[in-house]
Amino acid sequence: MKRFVEGDDRKQVALLPECVDDYIGEDNPVRIVDVFVDELDLAELGFNGTTPAITGRPSYHPGVMLKIYIYGYLNRVPSSRRLERECQRNVEMMWLTGRLTPDFKTIADFRRDNGAAIRNVCRRFVELCRGLKLLASDTVAIDGSKFKAVNSRDRNYTAGKIDKRQQQIEESVQRYLDMIETADRTNPIGFDVKTVRLYEKIARLRQRMRELEQIKKQLKTQPDGQLSLTDPDSRSMTSGGKRTGTVGYNVQAAVDTKHHLIVEHEVTNIGSDQGQLSTMALSTKNAMGKPKLKVLADRGYYSGPDILACELVGIKTYVPKPLTSASRKKGLFTKRDFVYVARNDEYRCPAGERAIRRFTTVEHDMTLQVYWPSACPRCHLKGRCSPSDYRRIRRWEHEHILEAMQRRLERKPDAMTIRRSTVEHVFGTLKHWMGATHFLTRTLGRVSTEMSLQVLAYNLKRVMNILGVAATIKAMRMAET
């Protein structure tokens, strides 16, 4: 006889177990959230309201609010309105909060008012991972990715964008005026409905033109020549060779190569990764508590001063040189075709001539030695070398550090494969969790808090996958005692 699995009758008395705890299995991840927050010293981390006020309406304990947020980010429910609903209907949330149901405004205010403390919680979890020997690897991969802000492309302005829009408006106004003139010729008696509409359109466009003039004035006060109207800290930035930019933030992350945990992260509104390597690498080294560290990064991070700064504090970098040589594009010999002979402090050029040191100069705060051979004017390879009389070769005073890094990269041919497989999927996962709109909050500080919650949720999930729920809870309790 065919049958279906039967559900219980909803009118049945005592359908639910007596105790909410019976609903929450021993291996339920919500238990980790509970233990983790209970073991934190919230006052030390900087949370407001850890001591209740003597007068006034009782407030919610910051631990409860923090649990709500960590649970929400773990389960891809970051919005305060949705968290309010979850508190009312979700059994795990009821278990976690003791059936407290704060409204969405209270939930949102907690995230807004405790940004620094929430970021400290994220750091505290990394320290915990370090204590659990989960950051044993001596190598991290650093990368950056652009995350969309709450600011559409149409509400982000540069001088170029405004000029282009003004030109489009002028063209449209002219087109409508031509249409009105044609209508006047064909129907000289009075206005028809179409002509009235055209006049209305022209009035709207002229109003828009005036608004753009105002924005142009505001733009002059912006140091970087960009103005975002919805989220003033967001910036238009291009990525991955796309022609159109993302209006958003550049999130930097350092991920350990063994367990793929995010050791350090930073939200910036600088569109380029260049110049961010040493800051990220140094804070990662401190977070991991290692005397020495290896850092893998892509070509976008290549910067002599950054690589030098890392070298000075015991960080070995693996960053390939960008292929942006102007000589290569013109089909001429590149600097790689010139061999440095350290013994004599000179270069050997492709024609086998000696390029000797001529003078020292300073460019972009870097001291450079300049070399060239005397034989250039009569050289048979000159057509492939330089259109000038002499081919000049510049050498930075710390170039040996860049050469040593190049040799390291040659000895580790899989460095960039490890980098890719370590850090890129992390950004993919975070973006997938955050959905198409990415950030929900505005301004750099709040966006950083939101990112810290995402990173904390990501790291919690990784640790649960590595250790399992029971072992993670046990380890957390032991770490805090």
The site for ligand SF4 (CB under 6 A) is made up of 349-351, 353, 373, 375-376, 379, 381-382, 385-386, 391
Q: How far apart are CA 39 and CA 66, in angstroms?
A: 12
Tokens of 344: 């004599």
320 within 8 A of 303, measured Cβ to Cβ: no
**Comparison of 263 and 379: residue with beta carbon closer to ligand SF4:** 379
Looking at the chain, how many residues does it have?
A: 481
Buried b (16+ CB within 10 A) or exposed e, 180-211: beeeeeeeeeeeeeebeebeeebeeeeeeeee
Closest listed residue to residue 115, CA positions, set 171, 51, 55, 45 = 45
Provide the minimum distance between the beta carbon of 260 and ligand SF4 in the complex, in angstroms, as a whole number.
Answer: 47
Provide the minimum distance between the beta carbon of 402 and ligand SF4 in the complex, in angstroms, as a whole number.
Answer: 21
**Comparison of 143 and 353: residue with beta carbon closer to ligand SF4:** 353
Q: How far apart are CA 198 and CA 267, in angstroms?
A: 47
Provide the minimum distance between the beta carbon of 353 and ligand SF4 in the complex, in angstroms, as a whole number.
Answer: 4
**Comparison of 208 and 348: residue with beta carbon closer to ligand SF4:** 348
**Comparison of 126 and 379: residue with beta carbon closer to ligand SF4:** 379
Find where tokens 């909060």 sit.
97
**Comparison of 318 and 390: residue with beta carbon closer to ligand SF4:** 390
**Comparison of 87 and 385: residue with beta carbon closer to ligand SF4:** 385
**Comparison of 237 and 349: residue with beta carbon closer to ligand SF4:** 349
Tokens of 8: 């219980």
**Comparison of 357 and 382: residue with beta carbon closer to ligand SF4:** 382
As beta bridge partners, residue 237 has 246
Provide the minimum distance between the beta carbon of 337 and ligand SF4 in the complex, in angstroms, as a whole number.
Answer: 8
Provide the minimum distance between the beta carbon of 326 and ligand SF4 in the complex, in angstroms, as a whole number.
Answer: 15
256 within 8 A of 135, measured Cβ to Cβ: yes
Tokens of 114: 């405790």
Provide the minimum distance between the beta carbon of 347 and ligand SF4 in the complex, in angstroms, as a whole number.
Answer: 8
**Comparison of 15 and 326: residue with beta carbon closer to ligand SF4:** 326
**Maximum alpha-carbon separation in the chain:** 103
Provide the minimum distance between the beta carbon of 336 and ligand SF4 in the complex, in angstroms, as a whole number.
Answer: 13
Provide the minimum distance between the beta carbon of 386 and ligand SF4 in the complex, in angstroms, as a whole number.
Answer: 6
37 within 8 A of 62, measured Cβ to Cβ: no
**Comparison of 80 and 386: residue with beta carbon closer to ligand SF4:** 386
Alpha helices by DSSP H, 220-338: 277-288, 304-312, 326-329
Q: Mutual orientation of helices 469-480 and 115-131 as an angle, nearest 10°?
A: 100
Residue 94, H or E segment = helix 91-97
As beta bridge partners, residue 357 has 371
109 within 8 A of 441, measured Cβ to Cβ: no
C-alpha separations of 168 from 198, 201, 323 in Å: 16, 14, 37
Provide the minimum distance between the beta carbon of 366 and ligand SF4 in the complex, in angstroms, as a whole number.
Answer: 22
Closest listed residue to residue 75, CA positions, set 477, 460, 465 = 460
Provide the minimum distance between the beta carbon of 255 and ligand SF4 in the complex, in angstroms, as a whole number.
Answer: 43
Provide the minimum distance between the beta carbon of 334 and ligand SF4 in the complex, in angstroms, as a whole number.
Answer: 12
Taking phi over 0 as left and psi of -120 to 50 as alpha, with beta for the rest, 116 belongs to alpha
Provide the minimum distance between the beta carbon of 329 and ligand SF4 in the complex, in angstroms, as a whole number.
Answer: 17
C-alpha separations of 55 from 46, 58, 59 in Å: 22, 8, 11
**Comparison of 280 and 379: residue with beta carbon closer to ligand SF4:** 379
**Comparison of 385 and 405: residue with beta carbon closer to ligand SF4:** 385
User: Which phi and psi (to 5°) does residue 318 adopt?
Assistant: -130, 90
Tokens of 475: 């380890």
